[in-house]
Chains A and B, each alone.
Chain A
């Protein structure tokens, strides 16, 4: 039975403009009629052409000039008819497409309706929550969904949990999953065009500097001397490793280092009886704040925009590691440096973005061809759709039902991880924060139950061995001279010649950009601080709108910040030269066609340059006798 979506206009708030009322059957008929109308125009044109020719013959005999006027009108008219016919055909096509769009929306409504009916079987309250699945902000619109003569009211409530539940239903529908996947890919493309997707530039072993098992709150060392046995153990590892962000940032805050660095942790476990080895890689969550857009140019491997890249890579297992994200490359590089071979069982454990990276690696064909990934553990990560674990890899999923982050991607309702651990709390400040997870996991019976997947992975008498910490820094994968110039103005370029621009110019440009960004995001002052962005989540927010806002935000960023910055640069760079290079007017493009060598890192023996495929690197021996592979000297390096 066809399902029609008909707004009840009596329920529409006064002043509402976004009203849709349509009968797709009518549109289909109109489309066909418009095609017929176009045919009539075309037929008329065909009949008129010979008449115009005869009038042309007549006009040649007429000295009054009236025949010529008639001939001109008819000739122009024949062209007009062609235009009218084409326009009518286009209109017919557009109407047909509109009908198809409405039918797609109707299919979505059908999904929602079925979900509603299923939810109604459970409780009326759950059914009502589906209202916001249409993507409207809670309380802003009411709809009536009608199946045949049965009318089902779908009411949006102005409560965040209900909105989240509604979106949760949406992301499990076919339409929702496809929409979110496409939106993620588009965001990824956009981020790439803005130079916000990065590759690993340099890395180093900082095990002697950072102990990731120290509780950042209490200073207590919580390192386990045994393998993790429960989900709570994994949550604690994630809490500690993510909590080490600050210590790593502090370490790289000195003048010796350039740019932002982020870390990952490798822990070995040994079975003293058999000599077998197991390796756990623990990946922290995002480092930095969403409002700090410039941070994405500063070189970390776990910035906000890397989330987009890692999420997009979930459904692209064929991507070469050389073209993957900086965080994925750092894991690959660390395993190579540490001599982990293809036979050593590996477990990837990640919190938030770290979980996305872990799952992207577990699915990546090149990575799996090199390493023996047996377990992936994700905590608060959106990996339940395209990120479903590949066959042969156990997936331990740990979520908080009220956590919004795992819901930012689609969800396959039929996907079941190997082990699924779920918390359900809201009153911990941030339902995504790792401290809240830890507190609740430690008090959860299921999280403290022994994990079969972990027991299977550590099937012996394993003890914890040494811990290794690597940090990496990234670079824009298509850094051009023009972008370097802009980075110099923003004060975030390193390792290249200086640009003589006044401090005032730099400060003005940076302040203008950041102030405009804040003004655009329209956040209250209290929310602009480092912790503010998390607090925003306690406000009514529909994730669908977040995607839309991001899309609009990128367009706006180009128009209001980048173009404006470009104009400022044009002005600021007048008469400035670096050597023989005249910078005015700079050609600032955000879709550069060519690549330039990456900036030269600080000369430090501990810091190595990342090369995605060191096997192809030559020469075999450097002039000073060092092995280039061991010292990370690859193509494009400037040593």
Chain B
């Protein structure tokens, strides 16, 4: 009859710990990819508007009307210059915003990737800890002591902690909110 130790070792060999973490890790990786794509799409959208601004500026520059000479014409051109300066400034701001948006997406995705990796790692450690149980002989008390010594309980707590990382739900919720 298999002892408790045998059962635990078998669980470890079967990869029960990594199996439990792998799903969560894959989910995090998937969210990272979706966030990255979302941010890039937003950046591209902003870039398109920058091009629209440049197009407006080009049209505006064509209104200078060289043949119009009067004090009103001077004031008109001054106003156009102000408009073009404001347009150019805003173009720069939008370009920066597009870059920051992509960077923000990358930053969030990197956090999710790190979370995925952590989840995988912790799962593997749990597998190893369970596998190590085959070296234990004795009664149930000895098993518990060994589990404690091998850090299995801490690893399980850590796994639970990462699985409950709020970023996962926040990102999933945000993507759902924006239809992605």
Q: Determine whether the beta carbon of B87 is less than 8 Å from that of A84.
A: yes
A27 to B38, CA, bound (A): 45
| A164 proximal to B (CB < 8 A) | no
Using A61-B167, A61-B174, A73-B100 as known contacts, say yes or no to A87 and B45 having CB atoms under 8 A apart.
Answer: no
Query: Given B67, B80, B90, which contacts A80 in the complex, CB threshold below 8 Å?
Result: B90
Residues of B within 8 A of A224 (CB): none
Q: Determine whether the beta carbon of B90 is less than 8 Å from that of A81.
A: yes
**Total contacts A-B at CB 8 Å:** 138
| A533 proximal to B (CB < 8 A) | no
B80 CB, nearest partner CB in chain A, Å: 7
| B170 proximal to A (CB < 8 A) | yes
| B128 proximal to A (CB < 8 A) | no
Query: Given A21, A57, A74, A87, which contacts B178 in the complex, CB threshold below 8 Å?
Result: A57
State which of B10-18, B19-27, B57-65, B118-126 sits at the interface with chain A. B57-65
Using A64-B103, A67-B100, A87-B83 as known contacts, say yes or no to A40 and B90 having CB atoms under 8 A apart.
Answer: no
Who on chain A is nearest to B179 by CB? A54
A28 to B46, CA, bound (A): 33
| A455 proximal to B (CB < 8 A) | no
| B42 proximal to A (CB < 8 A) | yes
| A207 proximal to B (CB < 8 A) | no
A101 to B97, CA, bound (A): 44
CB interface residues, B 3-47, toward A, < 8 Å: 35, 38-39, 42, 45-46
Q: Determine whether the beta carbon of A84 is less than 8 Å from that of B90.
A: yes
Q: Determine whether the beta carbon of B94 is less than 8 Å from that of A77.
A: yes
Residues of B within 8 A of A23 (CB): 67-68
| A66 proximal to B (CB < 8 A) | yes
Residues of B within 8 A of A76 (CB): 93
The proximity string for A residues 8-40 relative to B, scoring 1 for CB distances below 8 Å and 0 otherwise, is: 000000000011111100110010011001001
State which of A41-49, A168-176, A393-401 sits at the interface with chain B. A41-49
| A503 proximal to B (CB < 8 A) | no
B102 CB, nearest partner CB in chain A, Å: 9
Q: Determine whether the beta carbon of A63 is less than 8 Å from that of B69.
A: no
Q: Determine whether the beta carbon of B60 is less than 8 Å from that of A98.
A: no
A62 to B68, CA, bound (A): 52
Who on chain B is nearest to A83 by CB? B86
| B148 proximal to A (CB < 8 A) | no
Q: Determine whether the beta carbon of A34 is less than 8 Å from that of B70.
A: no
Query: Given A27, A57, A66, A73, which contacts B93 in the complex, CB threshold below 8 Å?
Result: A73
Q: Determine whether the beta carbon of B72 is less than 8 Å from that of A98.
A: yes
Residues of A within 8 A of B167 (CB): 61
A21 to B69, CA, bound (A): 5
Who on chain B is nearest to A47 by CB? B49
Who on chain B is nearest to A95 by CB? B76
A84 to B57, CA, bound (A): 11
A269 CB, nearest partner CB in chain B, Å: 60
Residues of A within 8 A of B101 (CB): 55, 58, 66-67, 70
| A59 proximal to B (CB < 8 A) | yes
- Show the binding face of A for B, using Cβ within 8 Å: 18-23, 26-27, 30, 33-34, 37, 40-41, 44, 47-48, 51, 54-55, 57-64, 66-67, 69-70, 73-74, 76-77, 80-81, 83-84, 87-88, 91, 94-95, 98, 101
CB-CB nearest 5 A-B residue pairs: A67-B104, A70-B100, A73-B97, A62-B104, A64-B107
Would you list 15 pairs from A and B whose C-beta atoms are within 8 A, ordered by A residue? A21-B68, A22-B69, A48-B49, A55-B104, A62-B107, A64-B103, A64-B104, A66-B101, A66-B104, A67-B103, A70-B98, A70-B104, A87-B83, A91-B80, A91-B83
- Show the binding face of B for A, using Cβ within 8 Å: 35, 38-39, 42, 45-46, 49, 52-53, 56, 59-60, 63, 65, 67-73, 76, 79-80, 82-83, 86-87, 90, 93-94, 96-101, 103-105, 107-108, 111, 167, 170-171, 174, 177-178
